[in-house]
């Protein structure tokens, strides 16, 4: 099943200082290595080159990515409201676990615990969960 994931991308043309921010969509069907950020970035550079560079310069290598931020799946286009806007756009969040030294990753969509993780690893784990699942 194809999954569309939106990204807010800040980029510039190689050799230029002026940065631009735009929204791009990556289709999971276009990825042979799901979750590979290098392949995702290559697809983003290709899309941006086609959209914004003049004929003759439409090469992904002419695009420099400065920042790639996933946009929740319920907000694929600018102007649409996010279902989790009241939570700063975050479907997944950390809560203190009953067990000392652990935190749980909570999923607001299903209102259940996704996983329990050591407090020292919780932020990294939460980041991976948000990148992988977004608001699907």
Q: Give the 3-state secondary structure of 8-65.
A: EEEEEECCCCCCEEEEEEEEHHHCCCCCCHHHHHHHHHHHHHHHHCCCCCCCHHHEEE
Q: Do 28 and 56 belong together in one domain?
A: yes
Q: Do 8 and 50 belong together in one domain?
A: yes
Q: What's the pTM?
A: 0.58
Q: Do 58 and 9 belong together in one domain?
A: yes
CB of 134 closer than 8 Å to CB of 5: yes
Q: What is the pLDDT of residues 5-53, one digit of tens each?
A: 778 899 999 999 899 999 888 887 888 887 788 999 999 999 999 999 9
Rounded Cα gap, residues 9 and 135, in angstroms? 18
**Residue 112: inside a domain, yes or no?**
yes
> Looking at residue 79, what is its pLDDT?
55
Instruction: Assign 136 a pLDDT band (cuts: 50, 70, 90).
Output: low
CB of 4 closer than 8 Å to CB of 15: no
Q: Do 55 and 98 belong together in one domain?
A: no
Rounded Cα gap, residues 78 and 43, in angstroms? 20
Rounded Cα gap, residues 105 and 136, in angstroms? 16
Q: Do 64 and 107 belong together in one domain?
A: no
Q: What is the pLDDT of residues 1-17, one digit of tens each?
A: 566 777 889 999 999 98
> Looking at residue 77, what is its pLDDT?
52
Cα–Cα separations (whole angstroms), residue 38 to 42, 61, 65, 112: 6, 13, 11, 32
Q: What is the pLDDT of residues 61-115, one digit of tens each?
A: 999 999 998 776 565 455 566 777 777 777 888 999 999 999 999 988 778 888 8
CB of 33 closer than 8 Å to CB of 84: no
> Looking at residue 101, what is its pLDDT?
93
How many structural domains are present in the chain? 2
Domain of 65, CATH number, reads 3.10.20
């Amino acid at each position: 099943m194809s999954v569309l994931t939106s990204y807010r991308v800040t980029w510039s043309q190689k050799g230029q200082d002026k940065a631009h921010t735009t929204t791009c969509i990556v289709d999971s069907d276009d990825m042979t290595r799901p979750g590979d950020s290098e392949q995702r970035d290559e697809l983003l550079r290709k899309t941006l080159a086609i959209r914004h560079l003049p004929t003759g310069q439409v090469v992904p290598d002419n695009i420099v990515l400065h920042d790639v931020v996933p946009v929740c799946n319920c907000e694929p286009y600018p102007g649409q409201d996010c279902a989790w806007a009241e939570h700063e756009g975050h479907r997944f969040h950390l809560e203190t676990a009953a067990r000392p030294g652990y935190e749980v990753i909570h999923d607001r969509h299903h209102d259940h615990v996704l996983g329990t993780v050591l407090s020292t690893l919780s932020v990294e784990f939460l980041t991976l969960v948000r990148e992988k699942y977004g608001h699907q």
